Chain A
Amino acid sequence: MNHLQSLKTLSYVQVRRILRIWIQTIIPPAITTALYFLIFGELIGSRIGEMPGYEGLTYLEFMVPGLIMLAVITNSYANVASAFFGAKFQKAIEEILISPMANWAILLGFIAGGIARGVLVGIVVVLVSLFFTNFGISNIFLTLFSILLTSTLFSILGLINGVYARTFDDISIIPTFVLTPLIYLGGIFYSVEILSDQWQFFSKINPILYIVNFFRYAMLGTSEIDPAFGFILICIFTVGFFALAYYLLHKGVGVKD
């Protein structure tokens, strides 16, 4: 049995799905990002000035990494959650379960789709950002690595959501009520230093803060939080949730009677 071929096939099917529905998958982040830049960057951002800890950078430049992460996180998560649940809903998941595909290949195939969408959308957001501001990238390797790592983590989380989902509502509840608030309160639009002690406390127990700041460090070369902490956090979460997702697939949770 050629497991690599089956992994390639599932990855290809996932990427083809993203490109087939490009109006739903690629275009919305471009429009949303443009609106963020226009409203928070151009109109309001020009009155904000520099963020504490990021002296020498305009507010627009400060926002760019956060907006890229916002797009990468939400899109990689949503992609795998909807792809997996959609396959369950249409029973197309049976095509995979009936086959000799190993659970690790199933897992990696769906994650590949999430990563592909995360990276694609990340590139789109970078291109849109260039219309509004010029910015350099401090460490291109670390920046790409960070996008890959983050989209991997949130693809796994999306898959776990898809595994447990029984209705379409179930794949929108977590992104709407958990993920979005955590991302918005994760230091995309502001530095935690400007918050009161109480809100700083809440921000600092939000893991997204560390993920965003790891990426900000990779892109801008500076961060208000030690990037190593963010890196370790992402790695631990990725390994832990990968193991959980593998276990769920192995047990057939949500897909087998």
Chain B
Amino acid sequence: MKALEIKNLKKIYANKVEALKGIDLIVESGDFFALLGPNGAGKSTTIGIISSLVNKDQGSISICGVDIDENFALAKTKLGVVNQEFNFSQFEKVRDVIMAQAGYYGVSPKLASARTEKYLKKLGIWDKRDVFIRELSGGQKRRVMIIKALIHEPELLILDEPTAGVDIELRRGLWDFLIDINKSGTTIILTTHYLEEAENLCRNIAIIDDGTIIENTNMDALLKKLENQVFTIETNQNVPENLKINGFNLTVEDEKKFSVVVPKDVSMNTLFENNSFKQLQVTNIKNQTNRLEELFLNLTSKK
């Protein structure tokens, strides 16, 4: 089943900016999907339209097979959205905000209370349940946003930069949490500026630029498009200044470190078997390229 199906979605804002130029997108049920794009590409507009915060000009959206225009309430019960910006009253307490969100989805107070406890404990902020939202740290607020989106247990969860501004430890914790949620059957669509995050978590990817989907494929196929990878090689001896390895571009970075560019159609074995390379006492090899970032820049700069 399709968790999300977008057909010919168009949006022109009042200031005449054409944010979406007729995009089509399908996300299969159970997927962990990345929707990437530079700032102003149309990601947030797309999410805004799906979540009813932005009016569309044309096109259709179905959530888990339910057309949002034909059966608004049913379609919305299948959707959870974590917005980029915090959207709750700063003057309410954590539990009250989450319980209210559950109520807006028609969840009974008894069930909402049980789920609130479950998710607050899972995300490690149960002790903050009676604290005013304004007293939480940024990371804690981000977790409240995620709980709010999950409180009605949607089939499709959209997260718009959920780890923006959170520390590395919490980010890793949220990744594990999202992986668990996805394994339990929730389809996840993620937008992020941390491309490493998308590469680690997502199986499929769409890249949107200037209101158009310019790439829509699976992560492995996309990464295979990478032309070159750059490796940093560290040795425990001085790197000869005139070091040459046939077929590879080298750059000596310091006396014990150099980088080498490996084209995608060349095996690493060619490098390892080279006589000049064999003479080096290699202590470390690091992939310098952020692979998805490289591709992302290539794709979005072509436009």
Give me the interface of A with B, judged by CB distance under 8 Å. 1-3, 5-6, 8-10, 12-13, 16, 20, 86-87, 90-102, 251-252, 256-257
Instruction: State whether B88 touches A5 (Cβ < 8 A).
Output: no
> Residues of B with Cβ closer than 8 Å to A?
13-14, 48, 51-55, 72-77, 79, 81, 83, 85-91, 96-97, 99-108, 148
A-side contacts of B77, CB under 8 Å: 1, 100
**Chain A residues with Cβ under 8 A from B106's Cβ?**
1-3, 5-6, 100
Instruction: Report if A90-B104 is in contact (Cβ < 8 Å); known contacts: A98-B53, A257-B55.
Output: no
Give every chain B residue within 8 A of A252 (Cβ-Cβ).
55
Least Cβ–Cβ distance between A179 and chain B, in angstroms: 26
Known contacts A20-B91, A91-B86, A100-B72; is-contact A9 B100 (Cβ 8 Å): yes
Q: Are A9 and B103 in contact (CB under 8 A)?
A: yes
Check if B55 sits within 8 Å of A95, measured CB to CB.
no
Listed by A's residue number, 16 A-B pairs whose Cβ atoms lie within 8 Å are A1-B105, A9-B104, A10-B104, A16-B96, A90-B90, A92-B88, A93-B87, A95-B101, A97-B52, A99-B101, A99-B104, A100-B72, A100-B75, A100-B106, A252-B55, A256-B55
Nearest CB of chain A from residue B30's CB, rounded to whole Å: 23
Q: Indicate which residue in A6, A86, A256, A257 contacts B103 across the interface (CB closer than 8 Å).
A: A6
- For B53, B83, B106, which residue has the most chain A Cβ atoms within 10 angstroms? B106
8 Å CB contact of B148 from A86, A87, A95, A256: A95
- A5 to B111: give the CA distance in the assembly, Å: 12
By a CB distance below 8 angstroms, the chain B residues around A95 are 87-88, 97, 100-101, 104, 148
Check if B105 sits within 8 Å of A257, measured CB to CB.
no
A91–B89 alpha-carbon span in the complex (Å): 8
Contact A102 B73 (CB under 8 A): yes
Residues of B within 8 A of A100 (CB): 72-77, 104-106
Distance between Cα atoms of A94 and B105 in the complex (Å): 13
A101 and B104 form a contact (CB under 8 A): yes
In Å, the complex CA distance between A102 and B52 comes to 12
Partner of A1, one of B54, B73, B85, B102: B73
B48 lies within 8 A of A257 (CB): yes
Query: Please, which residues of chain B bring their CB within 8 A of the CB of A93?
Result: 87
Q: Choose from B75, B79, B105 the contact partner of A6 (Cβ within 8 Å).
A: B105
A12–B96 Cα distance when bound, in Å, is 11
B89 and A87: CB pair below 8 A?
yes
Given A20-B91, A87-B89, A257-B13, check contact A99 B53 (CB 8 Å): no
Q: Which residues of A contact B105 (CB under 8 A)?
A: 1, 6, 99-100
Are B81 and A98 in contact, CB atoms less than 8 angstroms apart?
yes
Separation of A60 and B20 alpha carbons in the complex (Å): 65
Residues of chain A contacted by B51 (CB below 8 angstroms) = 97-98
Query: Closest residue of chain A to B103, judged by CB?
Result: A9
Partner of A257, one of B53, B75, B86: B53
Contacts of B99 in A (CB 8 A): 9
In whole angstroms, what is the CA distance A251 to B99 when docked? 28
A97 vs B49: C-alpha distance when bound (angstroms): 11
List residues of chain B with CB within 8 A of the CB of A6. Answer: 103-106
User: 7 new A-B pairs (CB below 8 Å) besides A13-B100, A98-B79?
Assistant: A1-B105, A5-B108, A20-B91, A90-B90, A95-B104, A95-B148, A100-B74
| In contact, A94 and B83 (Cβ under 8 angstroms) | yes
Complexed CA–CA distance, A95 and B48 (Å): 13
Shortest beta-carbon distance from B207 to chain A in Å? 23
Q: A1-B106, A9-B100, A13-B100 are in contact. Are A97 and B53 (CB under 8 A)?
A: yes
Name the A residues within 8 Å of B96 (CB-CB).
13, 16
Residues of chain A contacted by B148 (CB below 8 angstroms): 95
Q: Which of B76, B86, B102 contacts A98 (CB 8 A)?
A: B76
CA distance in complex: A46, B72 (Å): 61
- Residues in B with CB closer than 8 Å to A5 are 103, 106-108
Q: Within 8 Å CB of B86, what residues of A?
A: 91
Task: Name the residue on A nearest B54 (C-beta).
Answer: A257
Name the residue on B nearest A87 (C-beta): B89
- Alpha-carbon distance between A8 and B14 when the two chains are bound, in angstroms: 35
Q: What are the residues of chain B within 8 A of A3 when measuring CB–CB?
A: 73, 106
| B103 → A minimal CB distance (Å) | 3
Bound Cα distance from A86 to B88, whole angstroms: 11
The verdict on A98 contacting B103 (CB below 8 Å), with A5-B108, A92-B88 known, is no
Instruction: State in angstroms the CA–CA spacing of A94 and B44 once bound together.
Output: 14
